[in-house]
Amino acid sequence: MQMPTPDTAILSRRAAVLRRLAAALPEPALISDPAALRTYECDALTAYRCPPMAVVLPGSTQEVSACLRICHEEGVPVVPRGSGTSLAGGALPTADSIILGVSRMTEVLETSLADRIIRVQTGITNLSVSGAVEDDGFFYAPDPSSQLACAIAGNIAMNSGGAHCLKYGVTTNNLLGVTLVLMDGTVVEIGGGHMDAPGLDLLSVICGSEGQLGVVTEAMLRILPRPEGARPVLIGYDSSETAGQCVSDIIKAGILPVAIEFMDRPCIRATDEFSGAGYPDCEAMLIVEVEGSDPEIDEQLGIISQIARRLDPVELRVSGSAEESARIWLGRKSAFGAMGQINDYICLDGTIPVSELPAMLRGIADLSGRYGLEVANVFHAGDGNMHPLILFDANADGELEKAEELGAEILTLCVKVGGCLTGEHGVGVEKRDLMETQFDPADLEAQMRVKDVFDPGWLLNPAKVFPLSVSAGRRGIAAE
Ligand SMILES: Cc1cc2nc3c(=O)[nH]c(=O)nc-3n(C[C@H](O)[C@H](O)[C@H](O)COP(=O)(O)OP(=O)(O)OC[C@H]3O[C@@H](n4cnc5c(N)ncnc54)[C@H](O)[C@@H]3O)c2cc1C
User: Which atom, in ligand 1's list, is nearest to the CA of 217?
Assistant: 41
Name which residue sits closest to atom 28 of ligand 1, judged by CA.
84
Pocket test for ligand 1, best of 46, 83, 145 (most atoms within 8 A of CB): 145
Dist. CA 340 → ligand 1 center (Å): 19
Is the C-beta atom of 86 inside 6 A of ligand 1? yes
Is the C-beta atom of 91 inside 6 A of ligand 1? yes
Name which residue sits closest to atom 16 of ligand 1, judged by CA.
86
Name which residue sits closest to atom 49 of ligand 1, judged by CA.
90
Dist. CA 407 → ligand 1 center (Å): 20
Pocket test for ligand 1, best of 42, 146, 455 (most atoms within 8 A of CB): 146
Is the C-beta atom of 461 inside 6 A of ligand 1? yes
Is the C-beta atom of 216 inside 6 A of ligand 1? yes
Is the C-beta atom of 215 inside 6 A of ligand 1? yes
User: Which atom, in ligand 1's list, is nearest to the CA of 86?
Assistant: 29
Is the C-beta atom of 345 inside 6 A of ligand 1? no
Pocket test for ligand 1, best of 57, 65, 67, 85 (most atoms within 8 A of CB): 85
Pocket test for ligand 1, best of 55, 129, 150 (most atoms within 8 A of CB): 150
pLDDT for 258-286, tens place per residue?
999 999 998 999 999 999 999 999 999 99
HEC secondary structure over the chain:
CCCCCCCHHHHHCHHHHHHHHHHHCCHHHEECCHHHHHHHCCCCCCCCCCCCCEEECCCCHHHHHHHHHHHHHHCCCEEEECCCCCCCCCCCCCCCCEEEECCCCCCEEEEECCCCEEEEECCCEHHHHHHHHHHHCEECCCCCCCCCCCEHHHHHHHCCCCCCHHHHCCHHHHEEEEEEECCCCCEEEEECCCCCCCCCCHHHHHCCCCCCCCEEEEEEEECEECCCEEEEEEEEECCHHHHHHHHHHHHHCCCCCCEEEEEEHHHHHHHHHHHCCCCCCCCEEEEEEEEECHHHHHHHHHHHHHHHHCCCCCEEEECCCHHHHHHHHHHHHCHHHHHHHHCEEEECCEECCHHHHHHHHHHHHHHHHHHCCCEEEEEEHHHCEECEEEEECCCCCCHHHHHHHHHHHHHHHHHHCCCECCCCCCCCCCCHHHHHHHCCHHHHHHHHHHHHHHCCCCCECCCCCCCHHHHCCHHHHHHC
Dist. CA 454 → ligand 1 center (Å): 21
Q: Give Cβ neighbours of residue 45 (< 8 Å, ≥ 6 apart).
A: 86, 87, 88, 89, 92, 428, 429, 430
User: Which atom, in ligand 1's list, is nearest to the CA of 464?
Assistant: 49
User: Which atom, in ligand 1's list, is nearest to the CA of 79?
Assistant: 47
The segments of the chain whose pLDDT lies below 50 read 477-480
Dist. CA 191 → ligand 1 center (Å): 22
> Which domains can be identified in the chain, with CATH numbers?
8-101 (3.30.43.10), 108-225 (3.30.465.10), 229-336 (3.30.70.3450), 343-416 (3.30.70.2740), 432-479 (no CATH)
Of the candidates 88, 115, 103, the residue with the CA atom closest to the CA atom of residue 39: 103
Name which residue sits closest to atom 5 of ligand 1, judged by CA.
145
| pTM listed for this prediction | 0.94
Is the C-beta atom of 84 inside 6 A of ligand 1? yes
Is the C-beta atom of 146 inside 6 A of ligand 1? yes
Residue-level pLDDT at 479: 39
Residue-level pLDDT at 476: 54
Dist. CA 256 → ligand 1 center (Å): 27
User: Which atom, in ligand 1's list, is nearest to the CA of 380?
Assistant: 8
